[in-house]
Homo-oligomer: A and B are copies of this chain.
Amino acid sequence: MLISILTFQGFNELDSLIALGVLNRIKKPHWKVNICCPEDSVTSMNGVTVLAQSRLEDIPNSDAVVIGSGMLTRDIAKNEAIMGMIKLDPSRQLIAAQCSGTLLLAKLGLLGKIPACTDLTTKPWVQEAGVEILNQAFYADGNIATAGGCLAAPYLAAWIIARTEGLEAAKSALHYVAPVGEKEIFVDRAMKNIESYLFSRGG
């Protein structure tokens, strides 16, 4: 299971790295989660430089792809070299977009009539691309999921785990990262966000 977390210049640290942390709760030899970048390193919206663990060339080999968010996403959406490298196939890959990552999904033509989640800042740009935006943290239709608000990133990660390793594995990963004293309430809310979409194949 290769999971690529697409992380661009100007990235939001929370979106890429919360997903990475939760996904890495699965401790199996075949399970590999990479920060996947267009360059050898990327620098976040707050000046944190992270080295790439893989490059965009790895996207087609990935079983799941998380599209991270950031403050330069509108520029990336216009960058034909980068957009041409994001080769996604929802018939065989799980595809999850976080916040402004939803804009890239829309521009890649992968949403079609599927409604989506994003953050409040990105919302008008995705709407302009013709996509209905939902006032909720998480939505999935078949193999495509979207989330809105940085701290919805655990929901996206849990959805990928639930779809591949099962519900209990997803709950266990969420339980580990949840605040002490709030673990049950956190897991319950997270699972309520994703459970009803786990077995849908609509759209």
Contacts and interface: CB of A to CB of B under 8 A. Distances in A.
Interface of A: 12-14, 17-18, 20-21, 24, 33, 35, 41, 45-51, 53, 117-120, 135-138, 147-152, 154-155, 176-183, 186, 189, 193
Q: Taking each of A46, A118, A178, A193, which has the highest tally of chain B beta carbons within 10 Å of its own beta carbon?
A: A46
16 contacts: A13-B18, A14-B17, A17-B18, A18-B18, A20-B46, A20-B48, A33-B46, A118-B180, A136-B181, A149-B177, A149-B178, A149-B179, A149-B183, A151-B179, A151-B186, A182-B189
B46 A180 contact: no
Contact of A155 (B33, B179, B183): B179
One complex includes copies of this chain to the number of 2
Nearest to A13: B17
Contact of A49 (B12, B50, B147, B154): B50
A35 B48 contact: yes
Contact of A137 (B45, B135, B182): B182
B13 A180 contact: no
B186 A21 contact: no
A120, A149, A178: residue with the most chain B Cβ atoms closer than 10 Å = A149
Given A20-B46, A24-B46, A181 B13 contact: no
A180 B45 CA distance: 21
A164 B203 CA distance: 48
A94 B20 CA distance: 29
Given A48-B35, A50-B50, A180 B14 contact: no
Contacts of A137: 179-182
A84 B33 CA distance: 35
Contacts of A53: 47-48
Contacts of A178: 149-151
A21 B150 contact: yes
Contacts of A136: 180-181
Nearest to A189: B182
